[in-house]
């Protein structure tokens, strides 16, 4: 893993300052797409299938088809939101930023932190003597065995549901509605003048 403090002569595009090209690269890995899983999959996850959204039979899918998305892609979406906040002037200068923006940003910081702590590894960072540095300097280039994210992204792209199908999904006559902090939600959306079908991927 390349953990160098200063980017080298050919840095990853994900480390470059904001630009249309950089945004395109981040967008390519942070799109939270929907795909389908079965009732059996839902149960394996420890979830109640009576509470998860199913696709209607009119969609052409089997009756036990549920909507899902990859948590890891949502985490990257959140990391991208935090990245944009670090370059606030570039992305939001002179734009109205509502309380909903900060709520979303706090949510994303919490998501990233909880996942890092939940999956905390015991990888070790060694230290080196580095030119110009008086004290031992950490070597953040840690050897890791990684999953191939490209394979995960390729699978998502091949199985993601189309927008036309998603537009046809409506609440059935009988469904389990989960409670929500409704007043907080209503206040935040009203302040932001944001529709209920807000696209969170744009934040």
Rounded to whole angstroms, the Cα distance separating 120 from 91 reads 32
How do residues 34-48 score in pLDDT, each as one tens digit? 999 999 999 999 999
Q: Please, are residues 3 and 137 in contact by the beta-carbon 8 Å criterion? A: no
pLDDT at 197: 47
pLDDT at 196: 43
Residue 133 to residues 17, 128, 130, 139, 190: CA-CA distances in angstroms?
A: 26, 10, 5, 13, 52
Predicted TM-score (pTM) of this structure: 0.85
What are the φ and ψ backbone dihedral angles of 164, each rounded to 5 degrees? -65, -40
Per-residue pLDDT for 114 more than 80?
yes
pLDDT at 97: 82
What are the φ and ψ backbone dihedral angles of 54, each rounded to 5 degrees? -105, 155
Of residues 186 and 19, more confidence is placed in: 19
**Mean pLDDT computed over every residue of the chain:** 88
Nearest by Cα to 56 from 191, 167, 201? 167
How do residues 73-105 score in pLDDT, each as one tens digit? 999 999 999 999 999 999 998 787 888 889 999
pLDDT at 195: 47
Assigned token pair, 68: 């899902």
**Burial group, residue 108, by CB count within 10 angstroms (0-12, 13-18, 19+):** buried
How do residues 12-66 score in pLDDT, each as one tens digit? 999 999 999 999 999 999 999 999 999 999 999 999 999 999 998 888 899 899 9
């Amino acid at each position: 893993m390349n953990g160098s403090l200063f980017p080298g002569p050919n840095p990853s595009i994900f480390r470059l300052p904001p630009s249309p090209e950089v945004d395109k690269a981040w967008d390519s890995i942070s799109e939270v797409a929907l795909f389908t899983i079965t009732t059996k999959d839902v149960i394996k996850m420890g979830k109640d299938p009576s509470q998860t959204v199913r696709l209607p039979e009119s969609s052409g899918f089997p009756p036990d088809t549920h909507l899902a998305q990859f948590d890891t892609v949502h985490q990257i979406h959140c990391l991208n939101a935090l990245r944009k906040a670090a370059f606030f002037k570039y992305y939001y200068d002179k734009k109205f930023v509502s309380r909903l923006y900060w709520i979303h940003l706090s949510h994303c910081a919490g998501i990233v932190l909880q996942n890092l702590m939940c999956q905390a590894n015991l990888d070790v960072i060694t230290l080196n003597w580095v030119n110009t540095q008086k004290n031992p300097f950490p070597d953040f280039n840690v050897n890791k065995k990684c999953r191939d994210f490209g394979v995960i992204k390729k699978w998502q792209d091949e199985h993601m549901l189309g927008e036309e199908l998603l537009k046809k999904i409506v609440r059935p006559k009988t469904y389990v509605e989960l409670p929500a902090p409704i007043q907080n939600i209503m206040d935040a959306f009203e302040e932001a003048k944001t529709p209920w079908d807000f696209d969170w991927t744009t934040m």
